Structure 1
Amino acid sequence: MEIQTTRFGNVNTKPGDILLFPSGLPGLKDSLHWVLLADAENDSLGWLQSISRPESALAVVNPRRFVKDYQVRVSQREILPLQLKTPADAQALAIINKIGSALTINLKAPLLFHLGQRLGHQVVVNDDQPLQHVISHQVSQTRKSA
């Protein structure tokens, strides 16, 4: 299956690679289907690309790369959309943002995935985590390829 993107051009993906966000994402409620792309130059960086909105791609990273003891603490109700058999089935990614000349990750509202079911859901954690955890103070040009 070929999807069109404004950042990466046309990308080939398999239907089995598509992730469903049943509730969409804040600000992107109409985008339910996404695909996770690896970055061509940085193996710790990924891109969550919308299938229906070519211009919507979110840079994502494993938050434990920057905060070793990071844990997602949410109520059982928060993770119901993921259909988890056990919390260990969930994987977390944090969205990367550019704030001025710094890169930050959002630890307060991570993306959770149940890859076995191809489901994703953004949650708000119960504990005191920052919305903007700085991971780099100098930012180069945003990548244009996956």
Structure 2
Amino acid sequence: MHIQTKYHGEVEINQEEILSFKKGIPGFPDEKQFIILPLSDDGEFAAMQSIQTTTLAFVIANPFSFEPTYDIEIENYVIEALEIKDEKDLAVYSILTVQDPFEKTTANFQAPVIINIKNKHAMQVILNNSNYETKHPIFTNKMPVGSKG
């Protein structure tokens, strides 16, 4: 299947890799199908591209890459809705707000995207009683881009 994308132009995708958001994403209730496409060679950044809307793609990243102490509790309704049977079937992403310069980019740690990688069911979950922010700086615990350690 071929789709038009915001960042990659036309790409061929495997239909089995399409994520299904039964209720859409907060703010985009009609957007129910997305695909994850890499944005960087190292795989650290990706685009969660809408299948339906070419211009809708969220830049995402694994929150644990930027905040090793990131710790969330996934409520039972999420586990049931996504049909999660085993913790190893989970993938967690944060939606980024890309800034200029890129080092000022932030991540939404309060509303992670939770994916069951086996059945491709997904949901953006707004955490209750969270100390996490919607605009968490992601480069505070990492060396600046281009520096050597």
What CA deviation, in whole Å up to 9, does each residue of 1:85-109 have, x standing for no partner?
1344221000010357520001000
In 1, Cα distance between equivalents of 2:22 and 2:133: 25
After the TM superposition, which of the residue ranges 4-13 and 48-57 deviates more from structure 2? Answer: 4-13
Aligned to 2:143: none
Q: Kindly provide the amino acid, as one letter, of the partner of residue 109 in structure 2.
A: L
Q: Kindly provide the amino acid, as one letter, of the partner of residue 124 in structure 1.
A: I
Answer 1 or 2: higher relative contact order, Cα 8 Å, separation at least 6: 1
Runs of 4+ in 1 over 6 A off after TM superposition: none
What is the TM-score normalised by the length of structure 2?
0.84
In structure 2, list runs of 5 or more residues that go unmatched.
Answer: 141-149
Alignment root-mean-square deviation, CA: 1.8
Could you tell me how far 1:51 is from its partner in structure 2?
A: 0.2
State the SS of the aligned residue for 1:70.
coil
Q: Kindly provide the amino acid, as one letter, of the partner of residue 129 in structure 1.
A: Y
Greater percentage in strand: 1
Contact 1:63-1:94 at 8 Å conserved across structures:
yes
After the TM superposition, which of the residue ranges 120-129 and 93-102 deviates more from structure 2? Answer: 93-102
Residues matched between the structures, number: 137
Could you tell me how far 1:35 is from its partner in structure 2?
A: 0.4
Contact 1:74-1:124 at 8 Å conserved across structures:
no
Contact 1:104-1:133 at 8 Å conserved across structures:
yes
What is the TM-score normalised by the length of structure 1?
0.85
Same amino acid, percent of matched pairs: 26
Could you tell me how far 1:17 is from its partner in structure 2?
A: 1.1
In structure 1, list runs of 5 or more residues that go unmatched.
Answer: 138-146
Residue from 99, 104, 107 that aligns with 2:106: 104
